[in-house]
Amino acid sequence: MLDFGFIARAAPLFAKAAELTVTLAFTGIALSAAVGLVCALIRHLRVPVLRRLVGLYIELARNTPLMIQLFFLYYGLPRLGLLLEGKTCAIVGLTFLGGSYMAEAIRGGLVAVSEAQIEAGLSIGLRRRQVLRYVVLPQALAVALPALTATAIFLIKETSVFSIVALPDLMYVAKDLLKEGHSTESNLLLVLSYLLIILPISLILGWLERKARFAGFGS
């Protein structure tokens, strides 16, 4: 039988932890999208030198776990004289990881835009920057939207490792309450917390995907 008294006492702790998790996740996702867009454009436009550096960054970020990145930021950098608080490490780590996935998703969208669309924009007198802004990017982002959605949800799930940098997130609270012996109740609250965070976001992003498809983008 579930201990509903314990659940009632623990629920506010999970609610506070969920608020922290959502704040860090949304900040990391927003910054990841910005980093991803810049990196995708650098690779797509074949900017000298920077293109190679971006490629190296993407390979490094995508092939190292977030936990290792956080360990380096929180425990490694202080040895080099740079001390970052837990929240900063979490946001930087999530952005570092998420930016690489966002970059590849957006670059895939940019590649999907046909040359005919670009030529049509140039033929009506638009400059190349205007073609990129008004013709290429809207279509590219619409095509990339499913991958961007998946990446956003993936990043929210990755926040479960933030507890290693001493942040009182959902996983931290669950581990702390497990010491009291209420494993079933703690795990149930943990699952419900993530479900309440991820499900609405998934539904909203799914709606945006369908709306973009019906508008004629990404087809």
Question: Is there a domain that residue 192 lies in?
Answer: yes
pLDDT over 70 percentage in the chain: 97
CA 189 to chain centre: 23
* Average pLDDT for 196-216: 83
Is the pLDDT at 181 greater than 90? The verdict is no
**Helix boundaries (H) for the chain:** 4-44, 50-62, 66-71, 86-112, 115-123, 128-131, 137-158, 170-178, 183-214
CATH of the domain at 173: 1.10.3720.10
Owning domain of residue 57: 4-214
Q: What confidence score (pLDDT) does residue 216 get?
A: 55
Number of domains composing the chain: 1
User: What's the whole-number average pLDDT of the chain?
Assistant: 91
* DSSP per-residue string spanning 105-166: HHHHHHHHS-HHHHHHHHHTT--HHHHIIIIIHHHHHHHHHHHHHHHHHHHHHHGGGGGGGT
* Average pLDDT for 130-151: 92
Q: Residue 97: what residue type? A: L
Q: Kindly give, in sequence order, each residue whose CB lies less than 8 Å from that of residue 44, ignoring residues fewer than 6 positions away.
A: 107, 110, 111
Q: State the Cα–Cα distance between residues 29 and 96, nearest whole angstrom.
A: 10
Question: Is there a domain that residue 40 lies in?
Answer: yes
Contact 142, 218 (CB under 8 A): yes
Nearest to 195 by CA among 153, 164, 163, 155: 153
Question: Is there a domain that residue 219 lies in?
Answer: no
Question: Is there a domain that residue 199 lies in?
Answer: yes
Is the pLDDT at 98 greater than 70? The verdict is yes
